């Protein structure tokens, strides 16, 4: 980004001298098939706004730019109909390598957020059972995105919304009570939709052991807190720590739900029909109006969600991000409508929907049916493949793509396993520096740096220089998966370089440069894995 910013500054100076105002041109890393280090379409845009040919403008900009940035630009090539391809001098790339090493752990940090407050809510699974593998994907996306946003200058609060009241909690209590009766020898049958997992029996056994038939204890509260303790433990072991746990029940204890309904009524956005109260959400982009107060005078889940989202912003957040499972897609428009109705810009609410996860083992899909309470928990996946592999695999594809999680591949200690491949690159470099400290490494001869190695080194430095922009793009697009792809590519470059050139050699100059190069690779891999919540091991 440093070199890119230097070039942009130079291009802007040239445009000013040529009396051209082109604010919307692009300056990007040039694709390998085109040649050059950077490419810009500034002349093409200028040509569309003036009577001059784009190719003539390109040639004029190229001549002037080389005078403005002589220490950075080696040469410029103009291609029809007016593309400008810029080649950077090698010394500038070498200087970039030194700057990367100097910045260390701060490399990749930017301040595009300028301290803006963002609240990101994710996971938020109902406290009615353990977290399943789908929640793991949501946790990985939300937590990594929060890390990336903080790295780029935002103030971020990570929040878990606990639905601790309502029909699902009523059903959980009923399911536990039935299991308690079963433990006492009574003949029972579970109603349709009841919770059937073994954890329900576990809670029932604990309650029977502690309280028996006593009526003084709160079964609902006990069950919710018990399940939340499992959820907290699973998330902590998964590397996720929330800044705040927000309970739905608190919205009712302080009459916040009632106040929101009254606020909508005062705006003439509530009407009565069939004994229920309806919100005019269709006026704000929803496909139809929605019930907020049922015929029995009780608020709907939607009413709680309206109130919750309003108070997310009320607490000072300038932007709110929700990370939801794809099964919530029908909920997006109504939430946006409610935010707009309360005077908040829907643009300040970003909703990320992530698709399902399919687990595979040996080419066969693993059943994840929730019938009879049989599903694969996040804890089971973590125990089988580990936290690091789980998080990396969950983040390998964009949220809007279905994810096939190969359990056998995630356990392999081979280049086929992407997380192992990246972590092994870091560990390999650590071993090089351990060997260097011994000062007893074999100083083989004929290890001077060749022209071929110089070119390959420059290509690696180019990739290293892109890291801050990758992080920035992840933040701006709310897509952390781009970082996993970048790290895999960087690891591939390192392994190829390591297999071809001996870092520690008898040539002092070559050794010093190679140590700087692999040191920068180690630094970037460590920084990148840190943002993904994944460890960078020193030994493997």
Backbone φ and ψ for 321, nearest 5 degrees, come out as -120, 130
Phi, psi of 18 (to 5 degrees): -85, 5
Indicate the burial class of 440 (C-beta count within 10 angstroms; 0-12, 13-18, 19 or more).
exposed
Compute the distance between CA of residue 344 and CA of residue 356 in angstroms, rounded to an integer: 31
How is residue 191 annotated by DSSP? P
Provide the token pair at 274: 């069939």
Residue 22 confidence (pLDDT)? 81
Burial of 346 from C-beta contacts in 10 A (0-12 / 13-18 / 19+): middle
Alpha carbon separation from 359 to 263, 372, 409, 484 (Å, rounded): 46, 19, 11, 19
Report strand pairing: 117-122 vs 319-325.
parallel
Closest CA to 60 of 42, 48, 74, 35: 42
> Which pLDDT score is estimated for 441?
59
Longest dimension (CA), the chain: 92
Peptide bond into 81 cis (omega under 30): yes
Which of these, 28, 13, 23, 26, lies nearest to 49 by C-alpha position? Answer: 23
Q: How far is CA 475 from CA 332, 490, 514, in A?
A: 21, 20, 32
Nearest partner of 292 among 351, 338, 345, 342, judged by Cα: 338
Look at the block and give the residue holding tokens 């015929």.
295
CA atoms of 247 and 143, how far apart (whole Å): 20
- How high is the pLDDT of residue 495? 97
Note the pLDDT of residue 191. Answer: 84
Residues in Cβ contact with 255 at an 8 Å cutoff, skipping those fewer than 6 apart: none
What is the pLDDT at residue 368? Answer: 62
Which pLDDT tens digits describe the chain residue by residue (540 residues)?
A: 789 988 988 888 888 888 888 878 899 888 877 778 999 999 989 888 877 889 988 998 898 888 888 888 999 999 889 899 999 999 999 999 999 999 999 999 999 999 999 999 999 999 999 999 999 999 999 999 999 999 999 999 999 999 999 999 999 999 999 999 999 899 988 888 899 889 999 999 999 888 877 765 788 999 999 999 999 999 999 999 999 999 999 999 989 999 999 999 999 999 999 999 999 999 999 999 999 999 999 999 999 999 999 999 999 999 999 999 999 999 999 999 999 999 999 999 999 999 989 999 878 888 765 445 556 899 999 999 999 999 999 999 999 999 999 999 999 999 999 999 999 999 999 999 998 887 665 555 556 788 999 999 999 999 999 999 999 999 999 999 999 999 999 999 999 999 999 898 878 889 999 999 999 999 999 999 999 999 999 999
Structural domains of the chain ordered from first start: 2-88 (3.30.1360.70), 413-531 (1.10.730.10)
pLDDT on residue 371? 44
């Amino acid at each position: 980004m440093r070199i890119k910013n230097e070039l942009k500054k130079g291009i802007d100076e040239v445009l000013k001298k040529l009396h051209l105002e082109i604010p919307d041109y692009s300056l990007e890393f040039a694709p390998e098939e085109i040649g050059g280090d950077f490419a810009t379409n500034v002349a093409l845009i200028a040509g569309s706004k003036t009577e001059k040919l784009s190719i003539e403008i390109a040639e004029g900009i190229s001549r002037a730019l080389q005078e403005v940035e002589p220490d950075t630009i080696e040469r410029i090539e103009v291609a029809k109909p007016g593309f400008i391809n810029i080649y950077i001098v090698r010394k500038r790339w070498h200087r970039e390598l030194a700057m990367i090493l100097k910045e260390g752990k701060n490399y990749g940090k930017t301040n595009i957020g300028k301290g803006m407050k963002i609240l990101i809510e994710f996971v938020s699974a109902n406290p009615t059972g353990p977290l399943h593998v789908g929640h793991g994907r949501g946790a990985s996306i939300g937590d990594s995105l929060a890390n990336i946003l903080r790295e780029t200058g935002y103030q971020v609060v990570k929040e878990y919304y606990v639905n601790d009241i309502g029909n699902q909690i009523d059903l959980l209590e009923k399911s536990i009570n039935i299991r308690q009766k079963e433990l006492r020898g009574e003949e029972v049958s579970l109603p349709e939709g009841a919770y059937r997992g073994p954890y329900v029996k576990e809670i029932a056994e604990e309650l029977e052991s502690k309280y028996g038939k006593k009526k003084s204890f709160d079964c609902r509260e006990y069950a919710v807190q018990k399940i939340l303790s499992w959820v907290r433990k699973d998330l902590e072991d998964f590397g996720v720590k929330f800044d705040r746990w927000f309970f739905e029940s608190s919205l009712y204890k302080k009459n916040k739900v009632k106040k929101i309904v009254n606020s909508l009524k005062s705006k003439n956005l509530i009407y009565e029909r069939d004994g229920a109260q309806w919100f005019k959400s269709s006026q704000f982009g929803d496909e139809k109006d929605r019930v907020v107060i049922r015929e029995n005078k009780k608020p709907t889940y939607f009413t709680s969600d309206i109130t919750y989202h309003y108070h997310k912003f009320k607490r000072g957040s300038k932007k709110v991000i929700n990370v939801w499972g794809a099964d919530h897609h029908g909920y997006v428009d109504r939430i946006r409508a409610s935010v707009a109705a309360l005077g908040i810009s829907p643009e300040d609410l970003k909703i990320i929907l992530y698709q399902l996860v399919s687990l595979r083992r040996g080419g066969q899909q693993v059943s994840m049916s929730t019938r009879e309470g049989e599903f694969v928990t996040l804890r089971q996946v973590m125990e089988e493949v580990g936290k690091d592999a789980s998080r990396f695999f969950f983040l390998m594809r964009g949220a809007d793509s279905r994810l096939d999680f190969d359990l056998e591949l995630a356990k392999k200690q081979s280049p086929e396993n992407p997380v192992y491949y990246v972590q092994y690159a870091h560990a390999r470099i650590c071993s090089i520096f351990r060997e260097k400290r011994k000062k007893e490494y074999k100083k083989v001869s004929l290890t001077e740096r060749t022209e071929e190695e110089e070119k390959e080194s420059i290509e690696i430095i180019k990739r290293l220089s892109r890291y801050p922009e990758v992080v920035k793009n992840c933040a701006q697009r709310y897509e952390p998966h781009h970082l996993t792809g970048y790290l895999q590519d960087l690891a591939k470059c390192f392994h190829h370089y390591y297999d071809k050139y001996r870092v520690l050699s008898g040539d002092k100059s070559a050794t010093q440069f190679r140590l700087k190069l692999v040191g920068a690779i180690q630094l970037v891999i460590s920084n990148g894995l840190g943002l993904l919540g994944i460890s960078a091991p020193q030994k493997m």
